[in-house]
Amino acid sequence: MNTFTRFGITIPHILLPKEKKLMKAWAVIACDQYTQDREYWEKVETYAKDKPSTVHITLPEVYLNDADKPEKIKSIRRTMNDYLDKGVFTDPIESMIYVERKTEYGRTRKGLVTAVDLETYEWKPFSKALIRATEATIVDRIPPRMEIRRGAPLETPHIMLLVNDPEKTLIETLGKQIHEENKEAVYDTELMMKAGHLKGWKTDSEKNLAVIEKALSVIAEQNTEKDGSVFMFAVGDGNHSLATAKAVWDEYKKEHGVTDHPARYALIEIVNIYDEGLTFEPIHRVLFGIKSKDLLDCCAKELGGNVSICSSENELEEKVAQSKASFGFVYEQNGEIVYSCLETPITELAVSRLQPVLDKFLENNKTDKTEIDYIHGSEEVFRLGGKNGAVSILLPPIAKDSFFATIGGSGPLPRKSFSMGEASEKRFYMECRRLF
Taken in order of first residue, the domains within the chain and their CATH numbers are 2-279+421-434 (no CATH), 282-420 (3.30.1760)
Quote the pLDDT of residue 1: 45
Encode pLDDT of 285-317 as tens digits. 999 999 999 999 999 999 999 999 999 999 999
Q: How far is residue 203's CA from residue 59's CA, in Å, rounded to a whole number?
A: 30
157 closest CA partner among 420, 436, 430, 434:
430
Quote the pLDDT of residue 31: 95
Quote the pLDDT of residue 377: 86
List of the chain residues with pLDDT < 50 = 1
Quote the pLDDT of residue 416: 85
Encode pLDDT of 377-390 as tens digits. 899 999 999 988 89
Quote the pLDDT of residue 2: 60
First to last CA, the chain: 21
Helices (H), 268-349: 292-303, 313-321
Q: How far is residue 282's CA from residue 377's CA, in Å, rounded to a whole number?
A: 8
Find residue 29's DSSP bridge partners. 428
Q: How far is residue 242's CA from residue 59's CA, in Å, rounded to a whole number?
A: 16
Q: Tally the residues of the chain.
A: 436
CB atoms closer than 10 angstroms to residue 68? 10
Instruction: List all residues 6 or more positions away from 31 whose beta carbon is below 8 Å from its beta carbon.
Output: 58, 59, 60, 61, 158
